[in-house]
Structure formats: C-alpha cells, structure tokens
Amino acid sequence: MRLGRVAVVGGSIAGCAAALAVARAGADEVVVLERAAQDLQDRGVGLSVHAERYAELAELGYLDESMPWVRIEQRVWSHRDGELFGGRRFAVQPFAFRTYNWGSLWRELRGRIPAAVSYRTGAVVAEVRPDEAGAAVRLADGSEERFDLVVGADGYRSVVRAAVDPGDRAAYGGYLAWRGTLPVEQLPDWSEALLEGEAATVCFTGGHVVAYRTPGPGGRGQMVNWVLYAVPDQADELRFDDPEAASLRELTPGLERRLLQLAEQALPPFWGEVVRRTPPGERFVQPMYDLAVERYSLGRVVLLGDAASIARPHTGSGAVKALQDASALERALRTGADLAAALAAYSAERAEVGRKTRELGHRLGVAQVQQTPDWSLLGQQELDQWWLGVNAGAGFGGHALRR
C-alpha cells in the first residue's frame, strides 16, 4: 500500500524503531519530530533484552551483534544478614539477558534510519488532529503540517495518545525507582560481588535493588546499572500522582535523604556503598506508572511503545516492547489489504500484549515492593515457588512475537 507522508512523534529508541519500520514498509517521506533540542545519546541508563526476544528482533533487523552489549546468565537473590558485607545469597535463577547502555543503543538505532528520513530536534508537538485523510500536527511554535499517517512514539506523557483516546491516562503505582550508574572499577573491593554474567536482586522489606553490568557510554568499558524500588517518605513531593509533572529526573533533597537512609539501613554494606559511591549527578528518580490503552490506533493515527502501554520495569521488557511494536507495525503495513486493515490488525495484536505486560508489571510490583515476603525465610525452593506464583509464566522478559 502507499503510505504517503508519515510523521513519527518522538525520536528516542521507540521513535527510531518506528521510523525504521515505516521507512521499510514503503513510506514516501518520513519525518521524526523530537522535542529535545540536543542529542539523546547521553540520556537514560541501562536496559536489558531477553536472549530469546533479541534473537527475534535480530532476525527482523532491529538489533544485531554490532551493538555493544553485556551477557547476563544468572540472577542472584540476596538480602541483608547482619554485617555480612554482601548479604546472604539465598537463591540463583537462570537469567538469559543481554544488557545495553541506553545512549549507545539509541545511537545505533539512530544510525540505522535511512538518510532520507528527516530527523528534527527541538520540534515540540502540541496537538495532533486526525481526520479521514490523515492528521494535522500542530507544533508549539504555532506552525502546522499535514501527514497521511502519524505514529505516536512520544512516551508515557504522549501528546499523540490524546488524539487516539483522550480518556487514557497513566496511573501512579505508589512507589519510585531510584536509579544510578557507577563505573565497574569504582565498585567496593569484594570479589564475590556482581561477577561477570550475574544480575543481582537485593531484597529488603518494602523493596529491592536490581543491579547488573552494562556497556559504558559509546560501548567503552563497563558500568554497573542499579535500580532501587521503594516507597518515598512524601508521596506528593514531586506530585507523582500527576504524570504530566514527573518523569526521570534528578533527586530532590528529600528523595536523596530517603535513598541514603535505605542504603544505610536496608541494604547489605556492599550495596549501600555502591549507592553512596554513585555521584549525585548520576542518580535519578523514576515514578512507577501503569497504562494500557484499549486501542493502538484511530483513523490514521497509531501508537507505539510507552505512548500506548506502560509497564513497570520489573517485567524486563520495556525496550523490547517498543521494538516489538515497531516490527509488528512494519509487518502489518507490509501485509495489510489497506491502511485501515493494517492498523486494525496491529492494534488488536499489540493492545493484547500491552495489557498483559501492564498486568505483569503491577503484579511484580506488589510482590516485590508493596507486599514483600519475609526474605530471611526463603531459600532456593521457596524462592522458586514464590516466583512461579508471581510470574505465572506470563511474559517476564517480553512475549514472543507473532509471525
């Protein structure tokens, strides 16, 4: 089918994948509208991709071996136990993941977009108005352009989502993720901590830390990416219940105090020291939100990535979901009888995945943050049984793509 002129709103990982998808599906012209005025390559921290999902996406040409990555093979569970420096390790699970640096992965995907695609920075989209022939896109500077198809890849505060379903709004999950990165060579000296091929899950009452190695910026060296999940002292400090007002951002003094309190009182000495050694400028906070729209498209406007569904990071599938959405959109556009049929098929397929992933993220958040077990009573068998009940075989690391 002829796609005509296509706008992709948002130029991060999801937006680059979307631009690649519509270009490969035969769009006459592709314009990426990214609100940030500067390159995104230094944004974000680490992310992970399940090995099986990587294989699918590599076969489809969205990922490949040239992108810097680190192999993870097992997940080690531990908790604070007296003054044991690293805490007590009580379970080990298979964990076949590949980890990436957000900025490096974005740069690799950005480089795969065909040269004919126009990637505009500083292009803030204020409104998208769909009609029978396409959609009008109004920018914050007052200018307006028409497109035959608009793809919303503009994240959890999506402007495009308002054109598809104005009633859908992200809901605050009740807790935060404090995030940070630290060069591997700056880790405290302990030979058993975060070995090659390991991801650590460090548990405490009311939360946990996940940590793993990633490539450094530009693929040089290695970093430790850590994420600490817990409830803040003051839930309204950054108006977390308003997704328009909070996102990944630097810590306030109150959130800094809460982080250091948890590092001192809840974590084993080694992991508390990892948090303290992370420079304040490398610490961020990310509120947890839930969202899954009922439909991914309306007319000639379609949603992708976090613009369509938001799952808490516990699912291990955030980047995977966006890349899978892009590949599914490309397949639908290539095989659909017409544009309406293609977008309907895409919406039906990916809305179901988005709903399941959101539900899994919520369930994992409750079990690992808001209603944690007594970790001191768990060994390998108890952890395996607990995890089976929480995950219920339902998509940790992402759902397999349809073919």
What is the token pair recorded at 328?
A: 């599914």
Amino acid at residue number 57: L
Task: Collapse the DSSP code of 291 into the 3-class scheme (helix H, G, I; strand E, B; otherwise coil) and give the result.
Answer: strand
Q: Which residue has the tokens 């126009």?
A: 118
**Mean model confidence pLDDT for the chain:** 91
Options 3.90.550.10, 3.50.50.60, 3.40.190.10, 1.10.10.10; CATH for 5-43+104-170+291-361 is 3.50.50.60
Closest CA to 229 of 199, 259, 200, 194: 259
In the chain, % of residues over pLDDT 70: 93
- What pLDDT was estimated at residue 246? 54
pLDDT of 153-189, one tens digit each?
Answer: 999 889 999 999 888 788 889 999 999 999 999 988 8
- What pLDDT was estimated at residue 357? 93
CB atoms within 10 A of CB 57: 22
Beta bridge pairs of residue 78: 89, 202
Options 3.30.9.60, 3.40.50.1010, 3.40.50.2000, 3.40.50.2300; CATH for 49-101+171-289 is 3.30.9.60
The answer to whether the pTM exceeds 0.75 is yes
Q: Confirm if 393 and 347 have CB atoms less than 8 A apart.
A: no
**Statement: residue 243 has pLDDT above 80:** no
**Statement: residue 214 has pLDDT above 70:** yes
- What pLDDT was estimated at residue 132? 87
pLDDT band at 361; cut points 50, 70, 90: very high
Q: What is the CA radius of gyration of the chain?
A: 21
Mean pLDDT score, 283-298 = 92
Given this chain, do its domains 5-43+104-170+291-361 and 49-101+171-289 carry the same CATH topology?
no
Closest CA to 225 of 240, 210, 238: 210
SS3 for 170-199, per residue? CEEEEEEEEEEEEEHHHCCCCCCCCCCCEE
pLDDT band at 218; cut points 50, 70, 90: confident
Mean pLDDT score, 127-134 = 93
The residues near 231 (Cβ < 8 Å, ≥ 6 apart) are: 174, 175, 176, 206, 207, 369, 370
Return the domain boundaries, the chain: 5-43+104-170+291-361, 49-101+171-289
Mean pLDDT score, 351-370 = 94
**Statement: residue 236 has pLDDT above 90:** no
For 391, list phi and psi in degrees, rounded to 5: -80, -35
Between 153 and 246, name the one with better pLDDT. 153
Task: Collapse the DSSP code of 401 into the 3-class scheme (helix H, G, I; strand E, B; otherwise coil) and give the result.
Answer: coil
